[in-house]
Amino acid sequence: MDLQIGWASADEFLDHWRGVRMVTLELLARFGDDDLDYRLVPEWRTVGELFYHIGAHQYFVGRGVLVRRWRPMPGEPDADWNAHETRTVASVAGLHGWLTETQNKVDGWARATDDGALRDLRPDNPWHEGIRGWLLLHHSYQDELHHRGQLYAIARYLGKEPPQVFAEEYPSYWDARKGR
């Protein structure tokens, strides 16, 4: 794939995102099913809802940018977000599957698209009219990091030791990528 996102190719960007997701999944594993309904502040999402939102944002933006379709088709998760979320947020295993599925979907959609999906202005997106596809995709990546920060704070508050943040702490991931 020759698509570019800033200074990196789309392959490099998505490979890095897989590393970010690996750490997000490590963090998810620190929580038990009984922790998923914990809400630090009354108006905030629960732990389960935060993890779900990370995948939902990535799925929606990835499909919108890379497939160029914002509206769901029957059977897709966002055809009924509420029902899909309800089925998913009750278990760590369900959330792990959802986050893995969304990462794999975005990878597949990226392999199947052309560079216009990232370069073209996207006047059809529901939030930021006139932003290029690569920036919308990057926004979803940043959203994961933002919510993962919230989840790190919640984990510490609940007495859980969150995983290391940096890829260097995961030799199985990092060693193959050194010097790239």
Please give the domain boundaries of the chain with CATH numbers for all domains.
Answer: 4-177 (1.20.120.450)
Q: Confidence class of residue 160 from pLDDT cuts 50, 70 and 90?
A: very high
Q: What's the pLDDT score for residue 81? A: 94
pLDDT in tens, 101-125: 999 999 999 999 888 888 888 777 7
Q: What's the pLDDT score for residue 105? A: 96
Average pLDDT, the chain: 89
Q: What's the pLDDT score for residue 126? A: 77
Q: What's the pLDDT score for residue 73? A: 96
pTM of the complete model: 0.91
Residue 100 above 80 pLDDT? yes
- Distances from the Cα of 146 to the Cα of 17, 49, 54, 90, 180, angstroms: 14, 14, 9, 22, 26
